[in-house]
Amino acid sequence: MWHHFTERARRAVYYAQEFASRNSLSLVTVEGLCLGLLSVDGSRCLAALQRMDIPLEDLRAEIEAASISEPENRPERPTLTASAKRAVELGVREAKRSGRREVGTEHLLLGVVVEGGSASRILAKWGANLEAMRNAISEVYLLAEDDGGAEEESSILQRCVGSDELGLRRTSLLSMADLNGDQIIGILDCADELRIRRSAGGPLDWNGRKSLVMIFEKPSLRTRVTFELGMKELGGNTIILGPAEIGLGVRESVADVARNLDRWVSAIMARVRSHETLVELHQHSSVPIINALSDCEHPCQTLADLQALRQRKGRLAGLALAWIGDGNNVLHSLMLGAAQVGIRLRYACPPGYGPDVSILERARALAADTEAEIEAMDPLEAAEGADAIYTDVWASMGQEDEREERRRAFSEYQVNARMMDRAAPDAVFMHCLPAHRGDEVTDEVLDGANSIVLEQAENRLHAQKAVLALTLGP
């Protein structure tokens, strides 16, 4: 395995073993591995920490204090503990996700952070959490490119777009079930790169060669702004068609609209009332169809949600996510996505307002392969110890006449401070917006320090840009 590691990464492991030997330790702990990484001069690991203004000697002293254990017989060559091995494996995974052919010190440090032990907690105390570390490492890469010192390998986005490594070229996204777990993670990795690189200019520029038509049967704020801006930042063109311009199925059949647009544009994004409209567009068009919301699913929202959750928590697999409220289109996509990335999703819906049975069965079938869980619970039970609590409006667009009836049915399903207190101490609150304050969520929770609703909204831009780039190609 070690031949895939850079010379500095191998040196870091050697230094970690030397530290263990000097202290008569038979095992290299995660803390020892971290000390080895801090001992390698000129590494990207140190460059990233320095960009975060972390005092390296103080950090080293605190981690060293946490690493000394009871002396043992001095070993010839200390071996890695199970936790340290896991940190190395997570570092290898980070290298793959970033599109690098070799595992560097920066990837091993990310592995230490993701591993979640005492070294990770010490790093987090100094501000080196997973999101901050990934951002700092990306800045180090960009600075190296500006100085002419970039490595030969391309970024993960360029590699995935150029080679279609994820197998998404010219494919439609009607449902989260159209993606597998590797594709979901790949999209999130590309979305993270687009987010980080946005201020420095994107790695792609279509220069007007790609076009997206945007069909709206329902009002939109986040969807319209993020798709239109995303295409512009990728160098593409957008055409917006509302009900007055197109009249799907009224002025002209869905099939005829699809056949015409197929001759002009690179892809079709549609925000529609009926999911069957998307299916019919797909059946009569050779260009990709992207579901920007239907009565059945909202996959673009789920991708943004998973990106925000991973940014805040550093991982997806094993997280406990509680859904409180209506068994609607957002929950459908969230269940399918959670099942494929290993999230334990607990949903609490009033009787008669649960998710579609066929989608629930599909999600549970997918979960069987990832150790995810999709379970029905009552609201407070679902919230107990959860890493995140997610809710949505009680009455969606088109259900306005049911508002009062639903308000009565959902009265015990409000996410408030009492419910958040049942969750884990660092639990986050999630909502796809717009929110009806005082109904499904209180102001205190929606505007609170643990709310990541605006991060979810921001990530609609990055996740959708990644979908467009990977779908439409270079």
Q: Are residues 129 and 272 in the same domain?
A: no
Confidence of residue 374 (pLDDT cuts 50, 70, 90): very high
Residue 298 known to be catalytic: yes
Last residue of a domain, one of 105, 125, 146: 146
pLDDT digits over 39-93, tens only?
888 889 999 999 899 998 889 888 888 876 544 444 455 788 888 998 998 988 8
pLDDT computed for residue 150 by the predictor: 38
Chain centroid, CA 12 distance in Å: 30
Is the full-model pTM beyond 0.95?
A: no
Any idea what the CATH number is for the domain that residue 26 is in? 1.10.1780.10
More confident of the two residues 269 and 43: 269
Q: Are residues 276 and 314 in the same domain?
A: no
Percent of the chain with pLDDT over 90: 62
Burial class (CB in 10 A: 0-12, 13-18, 19+), 293: buried
Catalytic residue among 195, 298, 332, 362, which?
Answer: 298
Residue 151, pLDDT above cutoff 50? no
For range 172-193, the mean pLDDT: 94
Q: Are residues 92 and 196 in the same domain?
A: no
For range 117-137, the mean pLDDT: 90
pLDDT computed for residue 152 by the predictor: 36
Catalytic residue among 340, 460, 462, 464, which?
Answer: 460
Least confident segment among 10-14, 119-123, 210-214, 287-291: 10-14
Q: Are residues 436 and 304 in the same domain?
A: yes
Q: From CA 122, how far away is CA 361, in angstroms rounded?
A: 42
Confidence of residue 148 (pLDDT cuts 50, 70, 90): very low
Instruction: Write out the chain in H/E/C secondary structure.
Output: CHHHECHHHHHHHHHHHHHHHHCCCCEECHHHHHHHHHCCCCCHHHHHHHHCCCCHHHHHHHHHHHHCCCCCCCCCCCEECHHHHHHHHHHHHHHHHCCCCCECHHHHHHHHHHHCCHHHHHHHHCCCCHHHHHHHHHHHHHHHHHCCCCCCCCCHHHHHHHHCCCCCCCCCECCHHHCCHHHHHHHHHHHHHHHHHHHHCCCCCCCCCCEEEEEECCCCCHHHHHHHHHHHHCCCEEEEECHHHHCECCCECHHHHHHHHHCCCCEEEEECCCHHHHHHHHHCCCCCEEECCCCCCCHHHHHHHHHHHHHHHCCCCCCEEEEECCCCHHHHHHHHHHHHHCCEEEEECCCCCCCCHHHHHHHHHHHCCCCCEEEECCHHHHHCCCCEEEECCCCCCCCHHHHHHHHHHCCCCCECHHHHHHCCCCCEEEECCCCCECCCECHHHHCCCCECHHHHHHHHHHHHHHHHHHHHCC
Residue 162 resides in a domain: no
Least confident segment among 126-135, 147-156, 205-214: 147-156
Residue 146, pLDDT above cutoff 70? no
Residue 168 resides in a domain: no
pLDDT computed for residue 144 by the predictor: 67
More confident of the two residues 98 and 117: 117
Q: Are residues 186 and 141 in the same domain?
A: no
pLDDT digits over 379-398, tens only?
999 999 999 999 999 998 77
Q: Are residues 71 and 180 in the same domain?
A: no
Average pLDDT of the residues of the chain: 90
Q: Are residues 60 and 191 in the same domain?
A: no
Catalytic residue among 86, 432, 439, 464, which?
Answer: 432
What the block records as the tokens of 404 is: 């009062």
pLDDT computed for residue 71 by the predictor: 42
Residue 271 known to be catalytic: yes
Residue-wise burial string across 173-187, b where 16 or more C-beta atoms lie within 10 A, e elsewhere: bbbbbebebebbbbb
Any idea what the CATH number is for the domain that residue 446 is in? 3.40.50.1370
Q: From CA 158, how far away is CA 469, in angstroms rounded?
A: 9
For range 240-260, the mean pLDDT: 90
Catalytic residue among 159, 392, 406, 464, which?
Answer: 392
Q: Are residues 131 and 208 in the same domain?
A: no
Catalytic residue among 8, 271, 275, 362, which?
Answer: 271
Catalytic residue among 45, 183, 189, 301, which?
Answer: 301
Confidence of residue 149 (pLDDT cuts 50, 70, 90): very low
* Structural domain for 412, as ranges: 300-454
Q: Are residues 200 and 94 in the same domain?
A: no
Residue 213 resides in a domain: yes
Residue 143, pLDDT above cutoff 80? no
Residue 362 known to be catalytic: no
Least confident segment among 220-229, 333-342, 393-402, 442-451: 393-402
pLDDT computed for residue 180 by the predictor: 96
pLDDT computed for residue 155 by the predictor: 67
Residue 156, pLDDT above cutoff 70? yes
Q: Are residues 27 and 127 in the same domain?
A: yes
Residue 244, pLDDT above cutoff 90? no
Terminal Cα distance for the chain, rounded: 33
Residue 186 resides in a domain: yes
Q: From CA 114, how far away is CA 100, in angstroms rounded?
A: 18
Residue 165 resides in a domain: no
pLDDT computed for residue 461 by the predictor: 97
Residue 153 resides in a domain: no
Residue 8 known to be catalytic: no
pLDDT computed for residue 67 by the predictor: 74
Residue 432 known to be catalytic: yes
Q: Are residues 270 and 223 in the same domain?
A: yes
Confidence of residue 400 (pLDDT cuts 50, 70, 90): confident
Residue 284, pLDDT above cutoff 90? yes
C-alpha distances out from residue 467 to 228, 303, 471, Å:
13, 9, 6
The neighbouring-strand residues paired with 248 are: 252
More confident of the two residues 320 and 151: 320
More confident of the two residues 235 and 398: 235
Residue 105 resides in a domain: yes
Residue 241 resides in a domain: yes
Residue 189 known to be catalytic: no
Structural domain count, the chain: 3
Q: Are residues 311 and 443 in the same domain?
A: yes
